[in-house]
Structure 1
Amino acid sequence: MTPQVTDHKGGVWSIAVPIPDNPLGHTLVHLLETDRGPVLIDTGWDDPDSWTTLVAGITACGFAPAELHGVLITHHHPDHHGLSGKVREASGAWIAMHAADTAVVRRTREAEPGRWLDQLTARLAAAGAPDEHLAPLREARAQGRGRTFPGQGAALPDRDIGPGELLDLPGRRVRALWTPGHTPGHVCLHLEEEHPSGRAGGFGRLFSGDHLLPGITPHIGLYEDPKGAEDPKGAQGPEAPEGDAVPDPLGDYLDSLERVGKLAPAEVLPAHQHAFTDAVGRVRELIAHHEERLRRLRELLREPRTPWQLAMAMEWNRPWEQIPYASRNIAVSEAEAHLRRLVKQGQAERVPGAGPVRYQAA
């Protein structure tokens, strides 16, 4: 197998590791040379072909997998963290992640079999999903399917990545930037070194994970919790639980974008698509996108709607009828995250009554 490997110069490489049956195509796993050996930034999906590609890519960069010194995980999603266990087995490398995402990994590993399926069904029912959408989930649960889910086999990180921390990577200057939103513990990693090409217009290079992508708006939904810790009933909603402690993923994401914009790196090395410049311009585009989406949602909420009805009425990259089954679940979670933002801003409120929760503009 000939992997797609790119030499970004200055001891930085990217390896395109495939994601099976996913329109994203691949995860860009970055390899960073250090004085103690190579370090990976993310690992890719846990799949035999993905592992073969990763190994071939490391070899093409001039190293053996056994030489890997460490792994920095931008966030816990399986297309980033999935192969971490195999990397550790092959090399003994340490694995580092922000504590908030490590907690999700730990809860995922400890969750009762089928718990995630129960939680998903409860959340969708509370959001107003129709019976025909819930039926396959209930059937899968009754047949004992859904006892495993992506992430259960990933390694438990043994190091924390602290916000603002200058990481222990001899010979390199890499600083962690906590950028929650896509996940509660997402981090970007700023390589505080002059760009090897001497490129002007910013300083250093930013490994941005899924936080900042050149042509895709990252998914911002309610934070996942296999044990339903955000809501003891396992059915999170835009107002559960009560008070200022309610996680606000979209608010987190917008705040994180502002910090990245102020950083103004010379180049961004994301985990999908391709490297790009003008991080500041891309940040402005993403902030404007979400502000416009919130404005349109307020218009839709002139009449009460459930989160499911709201998702159906929102603009996506294709008509609702063409959105695959699993992607509809993601769309509803994104609608709920935007609803939660509006609720916290006092621009939307829950409509009293039994049955699926409904919201309207305040």
Structure 2
Amino acid sequence: MSDAAAIGDGILQIPVPITDSPLGHTLVYAMESPGGLVLVDAGWDDDNAWAGLTSGLEAVGHSITDVEGVVLTHFHPDHTGLCGRVRAASGAWVAMHEADHAEFHKMTAPRGPEWLDRQRANMIAAGAPNADIAAWQELDLQPPTGPDSAPDRILRDGDTIDLTGRGLRAVFTPGHTPGHVCFHLPDADVMFTGDHVLQKTTPHVGNFVYPLEERDALAEFFDSLRHVQSMNVTRGLGSHGIGIDDVGVRAGELIEHHEERLDHLYEAFADDEITVWEVAERMKWYKPWSDISPFHKTLALSEAAAHLRSLVSRNQVAQIPGSSPALFARI
């Protein structure tokens, strides 16, 4: 039996399974629109997730053929994966912020030898040990979803999506991804927060180009959190976990959490010159670094790079000229 339910304010909540993931599921939301239903996100791309979405819609009195459109909070596969199947079943349009369009196409691009060589060079630039690079290469590196799920509409900050008797407004909140969007339902004082603000977990914020890329993802995240705080929205509905009682308060807690991580990382440098990989090793994680899986080490490495990038932006840490792989030290 599906756990899909009406949760008030004309909002339907549908848990869509993510197979073999500790996250469990993506929470997809549906609301009535002039042409049927609009979904906020779609879920992971496999038969198990598809069964969860279709049976969930049926449990709340609808069908997948009722879907008029899908608005996406961001490009990650647990949000975009089923868009292709939804569009094929109902003719729905799919909308994503313009800043995440390119990221989606990178995610779904073929991964042949040239792609593998670029990724290996990227890890070498971070200072990754050979054993860890070899372990990473043993992972399933094929794209997690396909180009059939590509968005066909562009969302911009402030765009309004027509619902039945009301509107859903896009709020640009980069940080978790370059084009992450939350969706505000003003008449209900509700915000669909995607992976930007979650009640029980801290969203991943990462830079994936080493040693450092131009984008300061953590600074973007802070700015977006402060923007959400300024909106004074009470109820938040994230893509994972339980609802949020006060979006602004939770946003403030996330800022405080990352400021503490930055302080800890700065102290962890001591007087050493270290690589991006060693930055990741010195950060605090949910388990000892040696016990983290190869896949989650790559995520941790990207998050470490984002924190390092912010310390460099704040003139607390600098790259050592001429070092290869790049070394960093406190100023």
Tell me whether the two structures share a fold, i.e. TM-score over 0.5.
Answer: yes
Which residue of structure 1 lines up, in the alignment, with residue 65 of structure 2?
66
Which residue of structure 2 lines up, in the alignment, with residue 256 of structure 1?
224
Q: Superposition pairs for residues 254-293 of structure 1, below 5 Å?
A: 254-293=222-261
Which residue of structure 2 lines up, in the alignment, with residue 229 of structure 1?
none
Which residue of structure 2 lines up, in the alignment, with residue 160 of structure 1?
154
Q: Do the aligned partners of residues 342 and 27 (structure 1) sit closer, same or farther apart at CA in structure 2, a change above 3 Å counting?
A: same
Deviation at 1:3, TM superposition (A): 1.7
- Within 2, Cα distance between the matches of 1:100 and 1:219? 18
Q: In structure 1, list runs of 5 or more residues that go unmatched.
A: 195-203, 224-234, 241-245
Deviation at 1:138, TM superposition (A): 5.1
SS in structure 1 at match of 2:162:
coil
- Within 1, Cα distance between the matches of 2:79 and 2:138? 30
Query: In the alignment, is residue 351 of structure 1 matched against residue 323 of structure 2?
Result: no
Is this contact kept in 2: 1:82–1:151, CA < 8 A? yes
Deviations 1:141-183 (A, max 9, x none): xxxx74x311334512111111012223342221110000110
Which residue of structure 2 lines up, in the alignment, with residue 232 of structure 1?
none
Deviations 1:59-106 (A, max 9, x none): 112111111100011000000000000000010000000011112223
Q: Superposition pairs for residues 202-217 of structure 1, below 5 Å?
A: 204-217=189-202
Q: Superposition pairs for residues 74-93 of structure 1, below 5 Å?
A: 74-93=73-92
Q: What is the one-letter code of the residue matched to 2:258?
A: H
Deviations 1:297-351 (A, max 9, x none): 1112231111111111111111112211110111011000111111122111001
Q: Do the aligned partners of residues 155 and 355 (structure 1) sit closer, same or farther apart at CA in structure 2, a change above 3 Å counting?
A: same
Deviation at 1:267, TM superposition (A): 0.5
Deviation at 1:190, TM superposition (A): 0.2
SS in structure 1 at match of 2:27:
strand
Is this contact kept in 2: 1:58–1:65, CA < 8 A? yes
Q: What is the one-letter code of the residue matched to 2:279?
A: L
Deviation at 1:352, TM superposition (A): 2.6
* Length-normalised TM-score, structure 2: 0.95
SS in structure 1 at match of 2:86:
helix
Is this contact kept in 2: 1:308–1:332, CA < 8 A? yes
Is this contact kept in 1: 2:110–2:143, CA < 8 A? no
- Within 2, Cα distance between the matches of 1:307 and 1:99? 30
* Length-normalised TM-score, structure 1: 0.87
Deviations 1:277-316 (A, max 9, x none): 1112111111011111111111122311111111111111
SS in structure 2 at match of 1:106:
helix
Query: In the alignment, is residue 327 of structure 1 matched against residue 300 of structure 2?
Result: no
Is this contact kept in 1: 2:111–2:143, CA < 8 A? no
Q: How many residues align?
A: 330
Q: What is the one-letter code of the residue matched to 2:226?
A: E
Q: What is the one-letter code of the residue matched to 2:190?
A: R
Q: What is the one-letter code of the residue matched to 1:209?
A: G
Q: What is the one-letter code of the residue matched to 2:60?
A: C
Q: What is the one-letter code of the residue matched to 1:237?
A: P
Pick the aligned partner of 1:188 from 182, 185, 201. 182
- Within 1, Cα distance between the matches of 2:30 and 2:113? 36
Pick the aligned partner of 1:341 from 301, 307, 310. 310
Which residue of structure 2 lines up, in the alignment, with residue 27 of structure 1?
26
Which residue of structure 2 lines up, in the alignment, with residue 219 of structure 1?
204
Pick the aligned partner of 1:311 from 280, 285, 295. 280
Is this contact kept in 2: 1:206–1:267, CA < 8 A? yes
Deviation at 1:116, TM superposition (A): 4.4
- Provide the alpha-carbon RMSD of the alignment: 1.7
Deviation at 1:211, TM superposition (A): 0.3
- Within 2, Cα distance between the matches of 1:113 and 1:95? 28
Q: Do the aligned partners of residues 39 and 138 (structure 1) sit closer, same or farther apart at CA in structure 2, a change above 3 Å counting?
A: closer
Q: Which has the higher helix share?
A: 2
Deviation at 1:33, TM superposition (A): 1.4
Q: Which has the higher strand share?
A: 2
Deviations 1:196-234 (A, max 9, x none): xxxxxxxx10000000000100000015xxxxxxxxxxx
Deviation at 1:115, TM superposition (A): 4.7
- Within 1, Cα distance between the matches of 2:173 and 2:100? 12
Which residue of structure 2 lines up, in the alignment, with residue 151 of structure 1?
145
Is this contact kept in 2: 1:67–1:91, CA < 8 A? yes
